[in-house]
Every structure is written in structure tokens, then in C-alpha cells.
Homo-oligomer: A and B are copies of this chain.
Amino acid sequence: MFSKACEYGIRAAIYIGQQSASGRRVGLKDIAAEIDSPEAFTAKILQQLVRAQLLTSVKGPAGGFELTPEQLRTVTLRQLVVAIDGGAMLQGCALGLPQCSAQQPCPMHYQFLPIRDQLNELLRTHTIGELASKVQEGLGFLKQFG
């Protein structure tokens, strides 16, 4: 579905969000441990997200990553996915035709469209803050135990 980079990116953003909501700034090491991802690779992805201004970083001692209240409230899953994976999966043809369009649709087009639309809607309407709350309340997990 999504690339590894995107999966790590989303999980990281949610964890950072959860901690930011409690006023804690978190470092790379902590993040990678909490979402069970390769540290250096995760760093690259977070850099991308900082550049895209979807999250904030602070250098130096007591530095790390955080989401501003504004970011927590407004940054959506969709923005993360687009920043990392690009829009291809959210707009592209299921069978890989160069253009998804009703002009020359692939034979799955009309069946596939509603599903893709729902996915878009799902990503568009969920903010990091929202998902972070879910984790905070113990209703969602960013890694698995046992």
C-alpha cells in the first residue's frame, strides 16, 4: 500500500504528536525505538517532513522533534503521504495506465474509483493530533509487543 518510508514517517509523526500533546519533545533515538524503525533511515524521512513543514525540529541539547499545536491540529495523513510517496497512489490508475481518466478508463476504473476516493477521504480527514490521541488513550499502537 504505502512505502516503508511512508509507514515509518506516519508512525513517527503520530508518536511525535502524542508526545508533543504532552509537552514533550522527542529525539530520533527515542522515536526509532518507540515505533520500531531503523534509526538512520527514519532520520532521513523526518528531515523530509521537517522541510515540508509538517513537523518541527530543534537542534542541540534538549532538542528533537515536535509538532506545534497548529501542526497537531491541521497536518493530515494525506499531507504526510504526499510528502513522502507523492500523489501517484492517490490519483493513479489501478492497472498502471499513464493517466486515470474517464476518457480512456481501464476496465477496473469505475469499480476502483469509489475505493480510491474513500482512501483519499480517510487520509484527508484524519489529523496527526487525532491519531496521536488514539495512541495516548491506548486504543492504537505504533509497534507490537509479545
Q: A interface vs B, CB < 8 Å?
A: 1-2, 4, 7-8, 10-11, 14, 77, 89, 92, 94-99, 104-109, 111-112, 114-115, 118-119, 122, 126, 131-132, 134-135, 139-145
Contact = CB atoms under 8 A, between A and B. Distances in A.
B126 A108 contact: yes
A106 B8 contact: no
B8 A107 contact: no
Contacts of A115: 115, 118-119, 122
Contacts of A104: 141, 144-145
Protomer copies: 2
A66 to B, nearest CB: 19
Nearest to A111: B122
Given A106-B140, A140-B106, A142-B106, A2 B122 contact: no
Contacts of A144: 97-99, 104
Contact of A11 (B96, B119, B139): B96
Contacts of A122: 108, 111-112, 115
A105 B8 contact: no
